[in-house]
Structure 1
């Protein structure tokens, strides 16, 4: 049976115990989605080849890198597109557990809008410290646990993208695992006139919490110079779109247009400020944070 969806990811090195645990958990959850999904792992990070062989997953090591040695998103996407058997692709971060409702959401979207779309959604941040066992009832147990013990992340964290295979064939040389490129993905889709579909209501996507010890200086990715370069390559901060820029939603199995002018007004103010130079004063940053909280509040109502 030909798969419907190719999931691809560029994991971190497997040389730290907790990172290795959560990445194995993520891969197990993807494989548990069944024969409609194929999985590709990309990169030459420590331990990746061994994990791919152990789990029976195809491994593509020849990813191009920047001067700092960070894999390039454009190379990851091109290699995955060339290797994929499925007509639709999904890039997903390697710490993300997907449940069967994810594939159900993809199928619901494809039944209604098979072309020119991007599916995104918010994640649940959850502390997970044990290996995932995909025994009977695992998905419902984990969904219940995540919603009881986790926290729904803001619309500015984007951990997966589902799109037709032909999309994103021409990308800037973004550094993976750094800020900015994920925001550009949504900006590009909106600029092309595609439907950007927020699947948050239809899915429970689980982000396994971790520290940033794998990054230079142990800093969060958004503080790194490579993130600033990603933002420059994306066209500047005014192109830093989020899930708030989704113009459609998936709920109750239906793709519906979103029309919330109060969110559009707040975002236009924020983006206008950013075009004139990103606020650095305490008052300017406080204004941006208030704007984002209001946008998230209005999206939830």
Structure 2
């Protein structure tokens, strides 16, 4: 089940009409920005699943997400041990609701005008239930290098880290604001 973390009633109501569970952001850092580990722990406490995913709200997925997760689930990988999957996003300019109603349309847009972004910017993280969120620093989403730190921590801890770039399309709806919005915040670090 998709879950959105928001304290905005209108967003929660809109998502609920589309089958999402809306949950309150209970633990936030400066400026009300959610702390990543607490969102994961909240969902893990309330839903039983093989995989748990965080994604920025401006990322569109297709059936490649489902296919990638099925492949990993059916592989010989031991999912009782911590696993982190990340990948590069494909920046796609001018995505509109009318241009992206189907997976096929999203795939086509990404193929025709998408551009893979740097490997230093991960916008989605897929983990197993055994991923040690209790031991993770209280990093907040959308700030510089929190994503890189998470990959570094996982590799240093000898967790399985998977680059899903070649199998999972993460289409980033790129706007005029660009690709480094987190760098402009007063508490960017």
Q: Please report the TM-score for the alignment, with normalisation by the length of structure 1.
A: 0.56
The equivalent residue for 2:70 is 107
C-alpha contact (below 8 Å) 1:43/1:71 kept by paired residues: no
**What is the correspondence of 1:59-70 to structure 2 with a 5 Å cutoff?**
59-70=22-33
C-alpha contact (below 8 Å) 1:124/1:207 kept by paired residues: yes
Unaligned runs of 5+ in 1: 1-37, 214-218, 229-301
The equivalent residue for 1:226 is 187
Q: Give a deviation string over 1:137-193, Cα, whole Å, max 9, x none.
A: x32332122111111111111011111112132222222221222111101110121
1:126 and 2:87 are equivalent in the alignment:
no
The equivalent residue for 1:245 is none
1:144 and 2:108 are equivalent in the alignment:
yes
* Counterpart among 169, 175, 180 of residue 145 in structure 2: 180
Change (3 A) 1:131 1:144: closer
RMSD: 2.1
The equivalent residue for 2:34 is 71
Counterparts of 2:25 and 2:123 in 1: how far apart (Å)? 23
How many pairs were matched up?
183
**What is the correspondence of 1:161-172 to structure 2 with a 5 Å cutoff?**
161-170=125-134, 171-172=136-137
Counterparts of 1:132 and 1:79 in 2: how far apart (Å)? 34
Between Structure 1 and Structure 2, whose CA radius of gyration is higher? 1
- Relative to its length, the structure with more helix (as a share) is 1
Q: Give a deviation string over 1:235-273, Cα, whole Å, max 9, x none.
A: xxxxxxxxxxxxxxxxxxxxxxxxxxxxxxxxxxxxxxx
Counterparts of 1:142 and 1:220 in 2: how far apart (Å)? 23
Counterparts of 1:105 and 1:194 in 2: how far apart (Å)? 19
Change (3 A) 1:67 1:153: closer
Is the partner of 1:63 in helix, strand or coil? Answer: coil
Change (3 A) 1:177 1:131: farther
Counterparts of 1:114 and 1:106 in 2: how far apart (Å)? 14
Q: Give a deviation string over 1:98-136, Cα, whole Å, max 9, x none.
A: 1101111111122221423211111111120234664xx
C-alpha contact (below 8 Å) 2:100/2:106 kept by paired residues: no
Change (3 A) 1:195 1:132: same
C-alpha contact (below 8 Å) 2:89/2:169 kept by paired residues: yes
| More RCO (CA 8 Å, sep 6+) | 2
